[in-house]
Each structure stands twice: as C-alpha cells, then as structure tokens.
Chains A and B, each alone.
Chain A
Amino acid sequence: MSGDGGTHGMTLAEKVLSRASGLDHVVPGQIIEGRVDLAMMHEQGAQTVGPFHDMGALKVWDTDRVVIAIDHWVPASTEGAAVLHRILRKFAAEQHLDHFYDVGNHGICHQILAENGWVVPGDLAVGTDSHTNMLGAVGSVSAGIGPTEMAAVLALGRLWLKVPPTIQIRVHGTLGHGVTAKDLILKVLGEVKTTGATYKSVEFCGPTIESLSMPERFTLCNMTTEMGAKCGVIAPDAKTFEYLAKTAKHSMHPLYADADAQYERVVDIDVDGMPPMVACPYSPDNVRPLPEVAAEQVKVDQVFLGSCTNARIEDIREAAALMKGQKVHAGVRFIVSPASTSIYSQCLKEGLIEVFTEAGAVFTNSSCSACFGGNMGILSPEEVCASSSNRNFPGRMGAKEARIYLMSPIATVATAIRGVISDPREMM
C-alpha cells in the first residue's frame, strides 16, 4: 500500500524486500533481515561447506529452496575443479539437496534457475555468482553473494540487506533490425557506467521493455551486475507468467512499484535509430557505436558466442541464421557454447550445431566456457576476442594484455565471418 502515514510509495525492489523482511514499509538505507526464497550455488559453493560446518550448523534450512548447478568447469577440466565438484556432491548427499544439476543435466547456473522456474515474481533469491542479478527479469530481487555468506543463508534461511535506492531506466522506441537487447544494455552501461548503480537497484520500464521477450529481459538484468547494481528488476507481466506457467517451482507473488515510488535517478533511453553497440577494452562501460568500431577494421583472433548473458536458444538461432552457408574467416577461432544442456539438445534437434560446425566453428558442451578465462578458449597476450559475454577487464579471458570487445550474438557471427569487428546489419 502506498502513501500510508505520509511516506511515499515503494519501488519494485523495495516491495520485494518489504515482503522478504515482513515489514509494511522499507526505505533506502534501512538494514533489514530478508527471508530467502531461493539459494543457488555453483562451484564457489564448495567454499560454503567449510564455513557451514564451522558455524556449527547441522542442517540446511529448507532443502527445497537450494539449487546447485555446476557450470564453470564441466566436466571437470582440472584436478582442482574435480575436488570442488566432489565437495559439492558429498555435501548435497549429506544434506539431501536433490536439486543438483550435475554433469549431463548441467548448465550455467542462472540459466538453470530461469528455465526450471526456480525463481518467481516477488522472490528474494541469492546465488554465489555475481550475475545472479539476471533472475530479476522475472520481478524478483536476485543478488550475488559470497560463499561464507551463503553458509549463513543455508544455516538460517535469511541474510541482512541494506535496502538499495533505485535507478529507473525508462526505455522508449523500437529496436531496429539487427539491434538487440545486448545493444540496449551496452547503451545503458555507456550512460550509467560501471559505478553508476553501485549498491543500487536498477528498475527497467517503458514500452520497449514491455515489448521484449523473457530471454531478452534476462540479458538486460544480467548486465546490471556490470553497473555495480545489487539487483536489476523488471515488473512481471503476461510474458513472465506465461514463461513460468509450466515450470514455477513455488507460488508466484507478483509485486509492482507504487505509482508514487521515489527514484534516486531516472534515465531515459530512446532506442529509435540506435545502432548496434560494442564495449571496447578494458571496461564494459567503454561503449561505442559498432559501426564506428567496425570502420577501424579491428582484426580478431577468437570469437566467443556464449555465457549467461547471451547463449539462450533464441540467441543461437539468430546467430545460426546468419552463419548458415558461410565460413568462419581463416585464422579465426569461433567458439559457440550454449547456456544449458537443454539448449544444447534443442540446437541439436534444430540442426544448429551442424550449421556452426560446417562453418568451421567449434560448438561446445554447455558451460561458462571461455567467458572467465579459467577453463577453455583462453587468450594469449596480444590476442583480440569478440565476445557475447559480459566482462572485458584485463585478464578476464586469459592474458591481461588480451583485448576483448563485447557485442551481441549476431555481431559475433558477422565478426567471425569477416575476421574483423563487423556490423551484422550488413549481412542481414
């Protein structure tokens, strides 16, 4: 209820945190204890086990609200990774954590949560990965936490949170042909910058957002992490409910911002006429129009289509449509990694894997793959990579000198074909 006792209404994130804390009204800056609806761990959860025992905890608070999804090294590519997996399997068995997405049923943790309906509108969800923000696209507050904090969540089912102020991003206009949700979020990053939303909630709204599909909304909320945001949220609507209709693991409790909610800042973005965008080295907010960068004929050594940001079936379908009948440029390595095993399976059924392999790309098993520089597709110094992932800090994908350009999935295909950073619209 808005406006009680002279206080102003609440933003979407404030509404969710009010529900989670059992308080009628919360305000930015207030420290609350939030009840957790869903806790997710990937390999970093192996570091949760020690603190969990050290705390003297005996049992996980609610085994049906804990999901484990290994994704960084699947199957284990190093002995160290094998040890992490083993620790998690043992802990899951001891604690009866049955919602374990292990090798063969695996995927990037955020995609696993999304496609299996683990996070629903109104939820407070936490995960041991920074891109947990992605699940805010269903109208939840979903945030990344560290493994020690996760141990406390597993023991108590709650955690302290400072209610964040909210930045509202209002988006108007229609995305042009060949311009995607990735280009939109890069545009927003260019405006808000990597520190612009630190500790804040980013609430997307406006006609353009309403027109986006759920996969596109996931891409937006995913990269609010790169703005420093605690969470990125989108109000649930008919698309959200339809997306979750068959999969929702617990009852939905949709919440909406009050009409008189107070926003710390409002950013208006008009996407009419907006070109594709690219984030240049060495920061996700070093954003320029793609045609400008393409004009510089930036030669690439590797191209990566993958990550939790952009490796859903829709991304890969669009990419395959552009790839079909073309060849990867000589001297370029093109790595395509679907975000989950079910997406992999769908790609197989639709003949998409064949499109990429015949073009000379390598289509891999689902995992975080080349995104984080610790598993495969690692860059040597002086190499240049075009990537559909989310970060391009020094050393993110291997050598600290390597240069990473972030772009949409279709832009990665255009770049893989020409061997230089290219505008996909010229090939569509």
Chain B
Amino acid sequence: MEFSYDIAGGDFSRAGAASSEVKKILKQLNVELAVIKRVVVALYEAEVNVVAHAADGVMQVTLDSASIEVVIRDRGPGIPDIALAMQEGYSTASPRVREMGFGAGMGLPNIKRNCDSLDIESTVGVGTTVRMVTFFNR
C-alpha cells in the first residue's frame, strides 16, 4: 500500500495532520500499539521539521505486512552538517518554532530512537530527504 501527503511549510495549525492520518491507517491494520507510537512519534517530529524549516514537503508512505517505510522530501534550506544536526541540543529553529514547544534540538534524536533505520540526504539551498523504516515485529 502506498499513501502520499503534502506538508505545508510554516503552517503550524496543520502540522501533524499527515502523521495523524498514518496513525489511523496503522490502527486499522491492527499494528501493535507500541509500534504505532514509535512510528508516529518519528513521523510527527519529521513533519514538524518540514513545517518549521522548509517551504513545503511530501510524506510518502509504503506499507507491507512486515514494515513501514516513510520518505519525507522537502524543498527548503537543507542541512549543512547532518552529524551536527543529529546531536541532541543542536537547533537552528526560530523563536516561533520554540513557542510551539519544539526547537530544543531533540527532533532528529527522537526520530532516530523511534525507527529501525534512518537515512538523511540534504543539499543546502535545495532541500532534505529523510527515509525511515520501522519493522512491525522486532
């Protein structure tokens, strides 16, 4: 199964809508609740990142009986130093993002902790692609 959701940059009222849709689908498929939580926490942090930093993005979800793969591709500023961005506490978030309860440099570490594999590719001035895979039985 494949699903795709658009993410609007800067629109905090909608941030989380795509992750919420994925959660509903995983619940319908009777995926274990603890696994659903891991998946949607990672997705939500990634979705908030797109809203916080990018012009827009797309979340593409591919599901089979064993795993979920999610690719989030955005058009945005890109990440100059991915290793630095992965460090807990490092953040380039605006004051507005911080007012929303994010921007403490925990997003990427939270994503990493909650998926089984994580790949990030980024080109400065073009955008970032995040690919996450989580297995249902582990």
User: Do the two chains belong together in a single complex?
Assistant: no
